[in-house]
Structure 1
Amino acid sequence: MTSSRSSRPLRAAGAVLAAALLAGCGGTTDTVDAGTTAAAPTSAAGGSSASTSSSASAGPTPSGTPTGTPAATGAPADTSADVAEAVDPAGLTVTAVRAARQEGYDRVVFELAGSGTPGWQVEYVDSASAQGSGDPVDVPGEAVLQVVLQGVSYPYETGATEVPRGPVGAADSEHVAGVVYDGTFEGTAVAWIGTDGRAPFRVYSLTGPSRVVVEVVDEG
């Protein structure tokens, strides 16, 4: 997978270090657990479908192997666009969006059913416009960080239940005023993260389940 910031030595070193730590410790848990969650609706029987059962939980989820920037305070972050290619995407559908404050940064997690890793393009834009219609979308905050996930499929094709379109709150966050999810259209899923300004950010992915993580970082 390539990224506009993948040339930074720290990214590759961080991924190797993370893999070594996982091998040495026999596994761990990550903290990609947002305090505020938008998840796919439950079934009529009262539970989520098998492909999305872990998405609704706000607790820690099993750790995957980082395939981008290591999930650690101090990893590279700036305001330039971050772009990565999809890796073996199959049946990917966004089933949950979570946002919460962590020490030193605000974290937004996009969790997906299916396998592989979506591509992404994450960048600040002047305004938000809905896919297809081009209608303006109201995003809270002073700046708009647009997240485009590529290589995803419509829920009727995958059998997964997509997270509903609309706003997602951000509990106790420092920079993130809220998130608005726009759904899937022609192989892409789009969301906007409203921030208090064009703060530095970093993007990385995790597997087991597939997740794309955007962290808006405190400026030093």
Structure 2
Amino acid sequence: MKVLGRWMPTLGLAACLTAAACKKEEAPPTPPPAAEPTPSAAQPPDAGPVTDTDAGTTTTPPGSQAAQQEDPKNREWTAGLVDVKRSGFAPVTLREARTARNEGFDRLVLQFDGDQLPGYHIEYVDKPVIKCGSGDPTEVAGQGWLQVRVQPAQAHEGTQVTVAERERKPALPVLQELEMTCDFEGEVTWVLGVKSPHKYRVMELREPTRLVVDVQH
């Protein structure tokens, strides 16, 4: 009994230590505090690409090298002059000239080969509308004449034209007639005969490369 008396406290102590160890192992570890994001890791919201309602494709997102040359002010509605000069490369070839009606505006789309967009000079002009090669006047319907001049550009390859239909009457709410008045020495000019000189805006779109001119209804 004395031997048992001596060992009983030791066994009890061992039992207590074992129980304490069990409780310590069962307790879940405390998670480390969450790291705060640094200012350099913060990302700006994605503005998304610009959609071309004419062709259902997208342009290069803002901030890319291809989009940096465009002046955002040109996308604002205006009745004044829009002028963007570009040079130092061979004339780009105009492949298509399309028109379409949209909600609140009529649209002209000029589509070019390659990735380079030519410069452009756009403004309302007075009559008579002149053809650049001959210097002869030409009649264009409407009460306002929006001239769209792009350069360096061409609408031909050798002796073959790339845009065959150069005089059109699309029968749109504002755009009554469309005529190419120049395809000469690196310059292509279209004149938009509109119902009246409404405000317009200009957009540069890519994939494929296009210049878009919208005229308000």
Task: Show the counterpart of 1:7.
Answer: none
TM-score, normalising length: structure 2: 0.66
Amino acid at match of 1:146: Q
Matches within 5 A, 1:3-82: 20-22=46-48, 29-31=51-53, 33=54, 60-65=55-60, 67-69=70-72, 76-82=76-82
User: Quick one: structure 1 residues 91 and 186, their matched pair in 2 at CA, closer, same or farther if it must change by over 3 Å?
Assistant: closer
- Considering Cα pairs closer than 8 Å and 6+ residues apart, tell me whether 1 or 2 has the greater RCO: 1
CA–CA separation in structure 2 for the residues paired with 1:91 and 1:130: 20
Which of these two proteins has the greater Rg computed from alpha carbons?
Answer: 2
Quote how far apart the aligned CAs of 1:181 are: 1.6
Instruction: Extract structure 1 runs of 4+ deviating beyond 4 A.
Output: 68-71, 87-91
Aligned-residue Cα RMSD (Å) equals 2.9
Find out whether 1:189 has 2:188 as its counterpart. Answer: yes
Secondary structure of 2:47's partner?
helix
CA–CA separation in structure 1 for the residues paired with 2:168 and 2:88: 28
Task: Show the counterpart of 2:124.
Answer: 124
Quote how far apart the aligned CAs of 1:190 are: 0.6
Task: Give yes or no for contact 2:131–2:182 (8 Å, CA) kept in 1.
Answer: no
Task: Give yes or no for contact 2:202–2:213 (8 Å, CA) kept in 1.
Answer: yes
Cα shift readout 1:57-86 (whole Å, capped 9, x = no counterpart): xxx253223634489xxx521210111122
Q: Which runs of 5+ in 2 are unaligned?
A: 1-43, 61-66
Aligned length: 165
Quote how far apart the aligned CAs of 1:208 are: 1.8
Task: Give yes or no for contact 2:78–2:199 (8 Å, CA) kept in 1.
Answer: yes
Q: Which runs of 5+ in 1 are unaligned?
A: 1-16, 34-59
TM-score, normalising length: structure 1: 0.65
Find out whether 1:144 has 2:170 as its counterpart. Answer: no
Quote how far apart the aligned CAs of 1:167 are: 1.3
- Sequence identity, in percent? 28
Task: Give yes or no for contact 1:130–1:182 (8 Å, CA) kept in 2.
Answer: yes
